[in-house]
């Protein structure tokens, strides 16, 4: 969310809170819980420090507004009580920490999406050999796309990233073991 929108939202919520205190709360019980909600909202938007700073200014300002009306003195005592201030601090710290965790999660999710996209790109570049290929039954050459016969190891090396070395399997070794031309050398 861009900074301008955050400032507008914070201003609107704060203005709404003080308008409720000014016009709605005097006729009913005090809306002190809205102050805790405002602190939590500011901590969500701007972090723990903003929520804690608002805690310092919120109680005296709320008391000042309520002093303008006839509100029971018990609310003044409650608003300055350690329990209420601790609740404000707890809400500010919790919402600010939740905000930080959400931002971290969002960054990790973005990183994961970028890695996934690069893996999908790499996967799309992998060529898969499929279909039917003509293979010489005698020399094991393969018919290439351009119509020429190529040794299978060269063909696979060109089409894939495979490397080959030559050897002889045990069956062929037994077959050529008794060949006089090979034994003469």
Give the residue, 66 or 160, on which the prediction is more confident: 160
Domain-by-domain residue ranges, the chain? Answer: 3-124, 141-184
What gap in Å lies between CA 39 and CA 55, rounded to an integer? 7
Largest Cα–Cα separation, the chain: 120
Q: What is the pTM of this model?
A: 0.53
Place of tokens 């003044």: 76
26 vs 90: CA distance, rounded Å: 27
CA dihedral 106, 110, 116, 122 (to 10 degrees): -170
Between 55 and 109, residue with greater pLDDT: 109
Q: How far apart are CA 79 and CA 71, in angstroms?
A: 12
The tens digit of pLDDT for each residue in 157-177 reads: 887 777 777 788 888 888 777
- Residues 181 and 154: their CA atoms lie apart, in Å, by 28
């Amino acid at each position: 969310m861009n900074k301008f929108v955050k400032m507008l939202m914070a201003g609107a919520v704060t203005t709404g809170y003080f308008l409720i205190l000014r016009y709605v709360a005097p006729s009913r019980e005090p809306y002190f819980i809205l102050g805790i909600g405002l602190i939590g909202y500011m901590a969500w938007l701007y972090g723990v420090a903003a929520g804690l700073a608002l805690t310092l200014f919120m109680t005296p300002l709320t008391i000042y507004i309520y002093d303008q009306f006839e509100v029971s003195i018990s609310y003044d005592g409650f608003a300055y009580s350690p329990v209420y201030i601790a609740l404000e601090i707890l809400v500010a710290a919790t919402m600010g920490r939740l905000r930080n965790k959400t931002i971290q999660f969002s960054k990790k999710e973005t990183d994961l999406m970028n890695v996934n996209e690069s893996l999908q790109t790499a996967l799309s570049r992998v060529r898969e050999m499929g279909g039917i290929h003509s293979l010489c039954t005698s020399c094991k050459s393969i018919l290439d796309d351009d119509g020429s016969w190529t040794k299978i190891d060269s063909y696979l090396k060109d089409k894939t990233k495979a490397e080959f070395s030559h050897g002889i399997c045990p069956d062929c070794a037994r077959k050529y073991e008794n060949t006089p031309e090979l034994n003469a050398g």
